[in-house]
């Protein structure tokens, strides 16, 4: 028996933020990241709309790009002191991911982080509060999913936390928020959406409910990301990308992801590279590899009119200013000597990542190591995806 879980309510389109007027409660804590949501007036607007419903609110700000265990504990402590009946996360995926786990520790202060890492280990929530997610980027789809990614900076490990209990109660998909994103964030988060959609489509858990959502998301990204990147004020492109993110999120939240995310999680933990950027560079290599084990990419190619999906992904990356290799990344420096030093460890950890379980085929640690190497050094894809170690 299968289950398909999404938020109880999804508000989308122009002025969707006005849905906050309908919230019933007494106190809300607003969790956000850096200064952009405050600078553009969205925090003030959120608090004003809540006050119209008679809800008192406070703000926890400063969630970092790769939210840490320490930040999560700090936020949970603030929640405990304030005792809200609503947790409202507004901002990028990091803010939403952090707020979910803050919420868990607010409801269950006796838990440790290690206790919620195993898939399905989190106890039931909503004993103290419910959750509203308002994304500012069209990327992570945390507003719709059972996923959160938290980083332990002491071990350099990113941990995907998976639990149906952290699917938000309400998602608000307002295109006014991502319209403020700079071009490079539009590119990175948009290719994260593409990765979500493609990995959900070929997941071994994919089904008749997830496939149409994933396919539509792929088409929306291919047809709109360039306009959103080049013309940030194109509100139709922004709305389509925001909807694509949510559609892909509905799919992967229910059928999980694959090897691109496993590898991106680990290289992000080691070097701090933006998650969407890592996914974008890795994705063509993963598609090439996975074609040994599934024919489903052919459905995407037929749907989109493509001869070779991985080639189209690389062409799209180039149009978005995304480098062909991890070695060429400039947002962080990934030195060859340091990369090779942690390659074995990253490969083992990626093999053990929960997302690997639903990837087509059964990759070995050696396969993963080879993909990591190719993605770092190779400006062209291998002529044949021949990985002799695959099980």
120 against 20, higher pLDDT: 20
Per-residue pLDDT at 391 exceeds 80: no
First vs last C-alpha separation in the chain? 27
> pLDDT above 90 covers what percent of the chain?
85
What distance in Å separates the CA atoms of residue 222 and residue 313, rounded to the nearest whole number?
Answer: 9
The candidate with the shortest Cα–Cα distance to 4, out of 310, 213, 286, is: 213
pLDDT confidence bin for 101, thresholds 50/70/90: very high
Predicted confidence band of residue 388 (pLDDT cuts 50, 70, 90): low
Q: Are 220 and 244 in contact (CB under 8 A)?
A: yes
| For residue 203, pLDDT beyond 90 | yes
Whether 373 contacts 346, CB under 8 Å: no
| Tens digit of each residue's pLDDT (9 = 90 or more) over 139-181 | 889 999 988 989 888 887 888 898 999 999 999 999 999 998 8
pLDDT for the residue 336: 95
Q: Residue 28 in 3-state DSSP? A: strand
- Considering only CA atoms, which of 334, 169, 147, 173 is closest in space to residue 246? 173
Instruction: Return the pLDDT at 160.
Output: 85
CA distance 269 to 154: 10
Dist CA 149 CA 117 (whole Å): 10
At 300 the pLDDT is: 98
Mean pLDDT, rounded, for 86-91: 97
pLDDT in tens, 19-61: 999 999 999 999 999 888 999 999 999 999 999 999 999 999 9
Max CA pair span of the chain: 63
A 10 A CB-CB count for 26 gives: 12
Q: What is the pTM of this model?
A: 0.89
300-334 burial by CB neighbour count: b if 16+ within 10 A, else e? beeeeebebbbebbbebbeebebbbebbebeeeeb
Look at strands 170-173 and 130-135 and give their pairing.
parallel
Q: Can you tell me whether residue 37 is helix, strand or coil?
A: helix
Give phi and psi for 235, each to the nearest 5. -70, -30
Q: Which residue would you say has higher pLDDT here, 385 or 194?
A: 194
DSSP H helical segments within 132-177, as ranges?
none
For 132, the enclosing helix (H) or strand (E) is: strand 130-135
Q: What is the mean pLDDT of the chain?
A: 93
- As given in the structure block, the two tokens for residue 79 are 């929640």
d(CA 107, CA 310): 44
Question: Is the Cβ–Cβ distance between 111 and 104 less than 8 Å?
Answer: yes
Read off the pLDDT of each residue in 218-230 and give the average, rounded to a whole number. Answer: 97
Phi/psi of residue 374, nearest 5 degrees = -60, -40
């Amino acid at each position: 028996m299968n289950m398909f879980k999404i938020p109880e309510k999804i508000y989308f389109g122009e002025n969707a933020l006005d849905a906050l007027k309908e919230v019933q409660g007494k106190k809300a804590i607003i969790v956000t990241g850096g200064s952009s949501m405050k600078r553009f007036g969205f925090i003030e607007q959120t608090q004003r709309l809540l006050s119209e419903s008679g809800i008192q609110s406070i703000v926890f700000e400063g969630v970092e790009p790769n939210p840490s265990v320490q930040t999560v504990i700090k936020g949970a402590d603030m929640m405990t002191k304030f005792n809200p009946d609503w947790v409202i996360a507004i901002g990028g995926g990091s803010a939403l991911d952090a707020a979910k786990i803050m919420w868990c520790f607010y409801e269950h202060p006796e838990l440790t982080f290690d206790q919620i890492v195993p898939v399905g280990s989190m106890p039931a929530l909503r004993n103290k509060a419910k959750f509203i997610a308002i994304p500012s980027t069209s990327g992570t789809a945390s507003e719709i999913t059972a996923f959160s990614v938290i980083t332990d900076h002491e071990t350099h490990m990113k941990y995907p936390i998976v639990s149906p209990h952290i699917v938000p109660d309400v998602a608000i998909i307002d295109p006014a928020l991502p319209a403020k994103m700079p071009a490079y964030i539009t590119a990175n988060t948009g290719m994260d959406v593409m990765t979500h959609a493609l990995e959900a489509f070929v997941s071994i858990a994919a089904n008749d409910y997830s496939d149409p959502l994933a396919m539509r998301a792929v088409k929306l990204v291919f047809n709109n990301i360039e306009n959103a990147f080049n013309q940030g004020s194109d509100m139709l492109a922004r709305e389509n990308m925001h909807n694509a993110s949510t559609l892909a999120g509905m799919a992967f939240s229910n059928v999980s992801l694959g090897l691109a995310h496993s590898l991106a999680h680990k290289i992000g933990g080691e070097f701090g590279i933006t998650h969407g950027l890592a996914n974008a560079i890795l994705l063509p290599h993963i598609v090439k590899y996975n074609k040994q084990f599934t024919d489903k990419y052919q459905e995407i190619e037929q749907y989109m009119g493509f001869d070779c999906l991985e080639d189209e992904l690389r062409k799209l990356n180039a149009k978005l200013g995304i480098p062909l290799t991890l070695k060429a990344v400039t947002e962080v420096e990934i030195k060859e000597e340091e990369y090779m030093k942690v390659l074995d460890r990253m490969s083992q950890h990626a093999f053990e990542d929960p997302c690997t379980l639903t990837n087509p085929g059964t990759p070995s640690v050696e396969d993963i190591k080879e993909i990591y190497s190719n993605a770092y050094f190779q400006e062209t894809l291998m002529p044949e995806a021949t990985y002799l170690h695959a099980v």
